Structures are given as C-alpha cells and as structure tokens.
C-alpha cells in the first residue's frame, strides 16, 4: 500500500522560498504523477501542480511562475519549491498521487499534510 509523508520547514519568511519534500513508500515514483495540493486554514483545496518521472509537468497557471516540482527517483521522493511566498500562502500542503489513464484521473493517495506558516 502506497504511503506518502510530507516534510519540511513549518515556518517560512515572506518573500522567501517554501521547500517541501514528500517521501513515497510502498510504491515507486516511476509510475503515475506526483502532485502538490494546498489548503489554507478553514478554506478549500487548491491544486498546485504535478510531475511525472518522464519529466512531464503541469502547474496551476496562477502559480506557474513561482513553482517547481521535481522528482528524486533514487530516494523515491518528490519536492515542491514555491518562491516569493506571501502570508496568504500559509496553508496545509498535501502531497498526493495522481492516477490517470484515457478514461479516468484522480488523486487516490494523500499524505497527512504539513502546515506551513508564512511570517517574519
């Protein structure tokens, strides 16, 4: 059974870069797409982007200029970097597996989430 676990700093200063890592166990990141999704406290879910081990990536246009998702197949991890963060980007950040084929596409496995606060 695939499991995901986020890790990284819980506090980031405004204008700096948020960096998080998701460790995948029970399965290889050489399959499927690997995604980041965030949720501000008390609010809804926002898709950030995802990446496939082939190098194919897709980002939310609202964040695209500041986001990088990368995969480390040797460590079975993937990471998120979001630059120039603002206080409004404080949220629980989730990593998730994105399963897709010609007829279906969904986020089937999620990490527990990690809260990132943006404050000086």
Q: Does 26 bind other proteins (CB under 8 A)?
A: no
Q: Which of 15, 96, 87, 14 is nearest to 48 (CA)?
A: 96
In the bound state with other proteins, the residue whose beta carbon lies nearer, of 28 and 62, is 62
Q: Does 61 bind other proteins (CB under 8 A)?
A: yes
Contacts of 105 (CB under 8 A, 6+ apart): 98, 99
Q: Binding residue for other proteins (CB under 8 A) from 21, 23, 46, 68?
A: 46
Q: Binding residue for other proteins (CB under 8 A) from 65, 106, 119, 120?
A: 106
CA dihedral 17, 13, 45, 103 (to 10 degrees): 10
Q: Does 110 bind other proteins (CB under 8 A)?
A: yes
Determine how many CB atoms are found less than 10 A away from the CB of residue 15: 11
Tokens 């460590």 belong to 75
Q: Does 88 bind other proteins (CB under 8 A)?
A: no
Q: Does 91 bind other proteins (CB under 8 A)?
A: no
Q: Binding residue for other proteins (CB under 8 A) from 74, 103, 119, 120?
A: 103
Contacts of 107 (CB under 8 A, 6+ apart): 35, 37, 96, 97, 98, 99
Residues that bind other proteins (CB under 8 A): 44-47, 58, 60-62, 94, 96, 100, 103-108, 110-113
């Amino acid at each position: 059974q695939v499991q995901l676990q986020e890790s990284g700093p819980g506090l980031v200063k405004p204008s700096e870069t948020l960096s998080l890592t998701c460790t995948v166990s029970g399965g290889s990141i050489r399959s499927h797409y690997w995604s980041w999704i965030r949720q501000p406290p008390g609010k809804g879910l926002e898709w950030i982007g995802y990446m496939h081990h082939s190098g194919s990536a897709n980002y939310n246009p609202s964040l695209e200029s500041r986001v990088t998702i990368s995969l480390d197949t040797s460590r079975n991890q993937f990471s998120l970097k979001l630059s120039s963060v603002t206080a409004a980007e404080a949220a629980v950040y989730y990593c998730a597996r994105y399963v897709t084929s010609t007829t279906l596409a969904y986020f089937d496995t999620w990490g527990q989430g990690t809260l990132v606060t943006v404050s000086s």
